[in-house]
Amino acid sequence: MINGLIAGCLMGDASRRVDKMGRSYTVARVLARNRDDEEFIVNVIAFDAASCATLLALGDGEALSLAGSLTPKVWTDKQGNPRPSLDMVATQVLTAYHANHKQAAPGMPDGGP
């Protein structure tokens, strides 16, 4: 298992789904870039209520960072070229709102616990 931190932009809106046992989860796609400006599609699934709520609150194109376990994959585009992608089980989701909210937390000298 590879634990990683991904930063990128949401591709489309996240969607909530329900499994056969009635438990909800959220799926999303994130577009991330490396130093060489190559694009990677990250397929994200989240089970934690806070992570799910954060993903569902974001809209298409909004920036976010995710932490969780990664699985590298390869897919083939329409021209037959192999392209890398990642599957992530997100355990944490962070947005600019979270950073600003933590900095502005009242009664906390450093903005948070």
> What does the domain layout of the chain look like in residue ranges?
2-103
When pLDDT is cut at 50, 70 and 90, the band that residue 111 belongs to is very low
Q: What is the pLDDT of residues 14-52, one digit of tens each?
A: 999 999 999 999 999 999 998 888 888 999 999 999 999
Q: How many CB atoms lie within 10 A of CB 12?
A: 11
Q: What is the pLDDT of residues 47-80, one digit of tens each?
A: 999 999 999 999 999 999 999 999 999 989 899 9
pTM over 0.85: no
| CATH of the domain spanning 2-103, picked from 3.40.50.150, 3.30.1460.30, 3.40.50.300, 2.40.50.140 | 2.40.50.140
Q: What is the mean pLDDT of residues 86-111?
A: 72
